[in-house]
Every structure is written in C-alpha cells, then in structure tokens.
Amino acid sequence: MGGDIMKRIFMILFIVLLSATMQAQSFKAVCVGVNWDEGENCAADAVTMRNYLINKLGWDEDNVECETNGDATKIAIESAIESITDNQYNYCLYFHASHGWDNPRYILSGNLPSNNSISPYNLQSWFGSHQRYCIFIDACFSGDFILSLT
C-alpha cells in the first residue's frame, strides 16, 4: 500500500514538473504497455498516460504514440523512439509499463523471446545524442535499469 501511494505521489509530481517545463515547447511522447498475465494493467497504464498527456495537458494527439501488448514489438518501439528524437522536437517523453529483469537488465517488449527485450544499451542508443528526454519505466527492477544508463 505504501509503495502505491509513493508511486502515485511521484507520478503527480513528475507530471506537474513536466507540464511546467513543456509550456510553449515542442514535444513528442511514446507510451508503451505490455501485459503478460491476465489482470495486469500495464497496457491500460500506457493508454492512461497517453490520454492524460492529450486530454489534460493539451499535447497534440499526433505527437503522442501509444504501443500496447503485441503491437509493442522491439522494432516498433525502436522506430517510435528514433522518430521522436529528431531535432524538430525539443522534449521527448518515453513511458514504459511492463515486466523487468535484473540479470541481465532488461524490460519486456510485446514479442518474446528475451532477445526481443529492451536493454539499457538499446534505449541509450535509440535516443542517441538527443539531450532533452525523460524516461519513465514502471517495471520490476526499473531502478537498476535506469542506473545502468550512462
């Protein structure tokens, strides 16, 4: 219960700070959610994030891509991230809700086997030299995953 409350508080603060910095700026987002077991909410979380950015923060619908479950393949995610990091966008947001592993560190995409999972190296190379982006990962071992980014 306490973790859920802290997670919600962090998410609210994150959105408030993000929206304050996004005023009059160009931006794009990719929201990914992958359910692997019945009753999971990962895909719904990605759709909720997309809808919040569009309906509450006023982001342009064309600039917020959402990939869920089987459509959230590693290739689709790579393509979406690389499209948001072109220089016409000042800020980029990447939201990923899925399962994570710690050894080796990776998060799941919508296609198995694990060689289609996403590593910290993958994300780093897909964002390339783009300077202004925010990565939000809702998965087990996400803290270790983020710490692996250099």
108 vs 28, higher pLDDT: 28
141 DSSP 8-state letter: T
What is the Cα–Cα distance from 90 to 70, expressed in whole angstroms? 30
What is the DSSP pairing of strand 105-107 with strand 100-102? Answer: antiparallel
| pLDDT above 60 (res 3) | no
pTM for this predicted structure: 0.80
CA–CA gap between residue 48 and residue 125 (Å, rounded): 27
Token look-up 């080796």 returns 104
pLDDT digits (tens, 9 = 90+) for 47-103: 999 999 999 888 889 999 999 998 999 999 999 988 887 766 678 899 999 988 887
Task: Name the fold adopted by 27-147.
Answer: Rossmann fold (3.40.50)
What the block records as the tokens of 23 is: 């005023």
Tell me the domain boundaries of the chain. Answer: 27-147
Distances (CA, A) of 8 to 35, 49, 61, 138, 145: 20, 13, 24, 12, 20
Nearest to 127 by CA among 135, 116, 136, 117: 135
**Tens-digit pLDDT profile for residues 97-126:** 998 888 778 787 787 666 788 888 888 888
Helix (H) or strand (E) holding 134: strand 133-138
